Amino acid sequence: MSAIDELFRELRGAGRKALMPFVTAGDPDLAFTAAVLRELAHCGANLCELGIPYSDPIADGPVIQASYTRALAKKIRLAQILEMVRELTPAFKPPLVSMVSYAIVYRHGLEQFVADAQAAGLAGAIVPDLPVEEAGPLAKICRAADFSLIQLVTPTTPRPRALRIAETSTGFLYYVSVTGITGERGELPPGLIENVAWIREQTPLPVCIGFGISTPDHVRRLAPVADGLIVGSAVVRRIAAASEKNSSRDAVLADVGNYVAELFAAVNPM
C-alpha cells in the first residue's frame, strides 16, 4: 500500500476529505518552496502537489504558467528539485506528489524517474500530458514500485475512456472540474457534482477535484461528493503577489497558511 493509499484509507475511515494544495517548485526559490510546503502541512494540508516547471505546460493557466517561467528563468533543474524534496520529506508528514510533464519523465528515463523520485521521498506523479493509450509502460513501472500514477479525467472525456483512465491510475483519480486550463473561477460548472458522483460509483479509487477551486464555498459544496479538493492557482497567486510587493517571507507564509487553514476548515467542518 502506497503512502497515498494509506492516506485515503485513513481519511475514509474517519469520514474526512483531503485538502491538496499545489505549489510550483522554485518560485521564487527552492528554499522558499520548502518553507511553503512546511506551512501548508502545518495548516492542514493532507497531501501536497509540487509542480515541476516546464516550458510548455499543457493544462496550466496564466498564474501557474508565469510561476513556471519565473522558476525556469533561474535555471531550476529536476535534480535540484529532487534534492530539495529529499531534504524536506524526512520530517514532512503529508504525501508529496509531483505534477510533471511526460516529456520530463521520458527524457529522464521512465524507470530512472520513478526510482529517483521515490528515493527523494515523492509518493507519486500526476502526468497531465500522458494519454491513456501510451500510459501502459509507465503505469507498469509505477505499480511495481508502489509509486502512484495519477491521471486526469475531464468533463469532455467519454465515459468509456474515463473508465480506461481509472483502470491505469493508482493513488487517486484527478477529476478536472472545468473544460480548459487551471485558474481561479467564481462559479462551478453545471453538472460537476453529478459527473463526479458517477465516476466515484465506477472505481474504487478516490476521486479528487481540481481546476478552478479557490474559495471556502467551493470546497464546502464539493466535499460531500469528492474524496479530495485540489487548490493550485490561488496559492501560487498569493506567493507571486507577495513577491511583487516585496513582502517579507514570514508575511507570505502567514498569508498562505491562513488561506489554507480557512479551506481546511471548510473541507472538514467540526
Active-site option among 27, 39, 49, 227:
49
Cα Rg, the chain, nearest whole Å: 17
Of 35, 81, 20, the closest CA to residue 248 belongs to 35
Whether 111 is a known active-site residue: answer no
What are the C-alpha distances in Å from 112 to residues 44, 109, 171? 32, 5, 20
Q: Are 120 and 83 in contact (CB under 8 A)?
A: yes
Q: Please indicate whether residue 49 is annotated as part of the active site.
A: yes
Take residue 245 and report the three cell numbers written for it: 510587493
| 23, 52 Cβ separation under 8 angstroms | no
Handedness of CA 96, 100, 102, 104 (dihedral sign): negative
**Cis preceding-peptide flag for 204 (omega within 30 of 0):** no
The single residue of 5, 60, 111, 129 carrying the catalytic annotation is 60
Catalytic residue IDs: 49, 60
